[in-house]
A = this chain, B = another copy of it.
Amino acid sequence: MKLSELHPEGTKVRIGTVDFTQDDIIRFAGQFDPQPFHLDPEAARQSLFGGLCASGWHTCAGWMKCFVPYWTSETIRLGKDGIVAPKLGPSPGFADLRWLRPVFAGDSITYFVTFLAAKDLESRPGWRINTIRCEGENQNGEAVIRFDSKVIEFP
């Protein structure tokens, strides 16, 4: 089964939720993005953001954190119905990432995937490149992140 058959174009699918705790935000920032508004609640209050918020890279990684178990469970669910799940491979990259709002300590971000389009890869028969929209919104339904990713699909 192809991804384009499994996910009708434009259908937004919820893939999971990540709670961004203060500890998790500070731990990620300490490793990868040690800026005061990601590390120190008091400094963050004095900053443009007005409160401790997650590194944008942490918000990105949260999408993947949800997608991997979502896709594993989809593969199992389809298998039970005798359907071979689309064989997805690595992503060559993505386009137009927007960090639309800060993700503050205590926020719960729910992530989504929307299948947008598929294209046959001319250089490799049977391979396809899918374009998927990846989104996250906070507990108030406000969009916090959006990007369009490419995903390889094998025959």
Tell me what chain A mostly uses at the interface: helix, strand, loop, or mixed: mixed
Q: How far is the CB of A141 from chain B (nearest CB, A)?
A: 20
What chain B residues lie within 8 Å of A31 (beta carbons)? 61, 65
Give the CA-CA distance A89 to B48 in the complex, in Å: 8
Interface residues on A, range: 20 to 34
Contact B99 A65 (CB under 8 A): no
A126 at the interface (CB under 8 A from B): no
Chain A residues close to B by CB (< 8 Å): 31-35, 48-49, 55-57, 60-62, 64-65, 68-69, 89-99, 147
Shortest 6 CB-CB contacts between residues of A and residues of B:
A32-B61, A93-B98, A57-B61, A33-B64, A93-B97, A32-B65
